[in-house]
Amino acid sequence: MAQATASRRAQLSDAGDIARIYSEGIADRIATFETEPRSRADVEQVLRGLDPRHPAVVVEREGRVVAFAWTSTYRPRACYDLIAEFSVYVGREARGTGCGREVLSALIEAAEASGLHKLVSRIFPENTASRALCRALGFREVGTYVRHGKLDGEWRDCVIVERLLGAAADGC
Ligand SMILES: CC(C)(COP(=O)(O)OP(=O)(O)OC[C@H]1O[C@@H](n2cnc3c(N)ncnc32)[C@H](O)[C@@H]1OP(=O)(O)O)[C@@H](O)C(=O)NCCC(=O)NCCS
């Protein structure tokens, strides 16, 4: 039987679960240039400091948080105020079971509701799950930054993705 899942806005009380899921993604070395695990306090600080326009969402399965996605500042210049970066992470035990689609869909909906114009991110080329998820939800691959950052001493490429939101997407 399919397990019941539900998305909702992230709350401070989710910080421990988000830290666990984020730290798994960091340890797997497939998602981010970050290398140090995150603590509950680190995540509480992020959630407390979120710009009111930048949503953060979680997905619960059987009452347990199994995925999160959030937005952050793309660039501090005023011309980019309505562009946001996003991150999406699913706990290891729940990957490949639709939670990524659910949590990123919820983030897109929340970002549209808060008036954002575009979401962007960068993905390691080898991260086939993340690229498939983004493609499935209407993101466009803009191109590849070559040898863009070092992870564990190795230069890594990044695929840039973007998705226009709300009225900005009309006619695309
Ligand atoms: C990337 C990630 C968020 C995807 O979430 P997920 O729950 O595993 O993916 P879903 O089950 O929702 O699948 C979403 C889509 O991607 C496809 N997909 C998922 N895993 C895949 C894989 N390993 N290879 C190819 N396609 C895959 C699914 O078929 C699905 O497509 P569909 O909806 O059109 O059928 C998740 O695997 C994860 O958290 N990975 C570690 C952290 C990470 O890489 N974060 C992204 C940083 S850029």
Q: What is 117-156 written as a DSSP string? A: -EEEEEE-TT-HHHHHHHHHTT-EEEEEEEEEEEETTEEE
Centroid of ligand 1 to alpha carbon of 131 (angstroms): 8
Percent of the chain with pLDDT over 70: 98
Q: How far is CA 70 from the centre of its chain?
A: 5
pLDDT by residue (tens digit) across 144-158? 999 999 999 999 999
β-partners of residue 131 are none
**Closest C-alpha residue for ligand 1 atom 21:** 129
Q: At 88, list the tokens.
A: 């999406």
Distance CA 126, CA 130 (A): 9
Average pLDDT, the chain: 96
Task: Give the CA distances from residue 10 to residues 48, 59, 99, 126, in Å, rounded to whole numbers and listed in that order.
Answer: 11, 9, 15, 29
Centroid of ligand 1 to alpha carbon of 138 (angstroms): 14
Residue 42's domain spans which residues? 5-169
Question: How many structural domains compose the chain?
Answer: 1
12 ligand 1 Cβ < 6 A = no
CATH code (residue 130): 3.40.630.30
What is the DSSP-derived secondary structure letter of residue 33? Answer: S
Centroid of ligand 1 to alpha carbon of 161 (angstroms): 15
Distance CA 52, CA 62 (A): 29
pLDDT by residue (tens digit) across 103-119? 999 999 999 999 999 99
29 ligand 1 Cβ < 6 A = no
- What pTM value is reported for the model? 0.97
Centroid of ligand 1 to alpha carbon of 79 (angstroms): 32
**Closest C-alpha residue for ligand 1 atom 43:** 31
Distance CA 63, CA 73 (A): 30
Q: At 52, list the tokens.
A: 């009111």
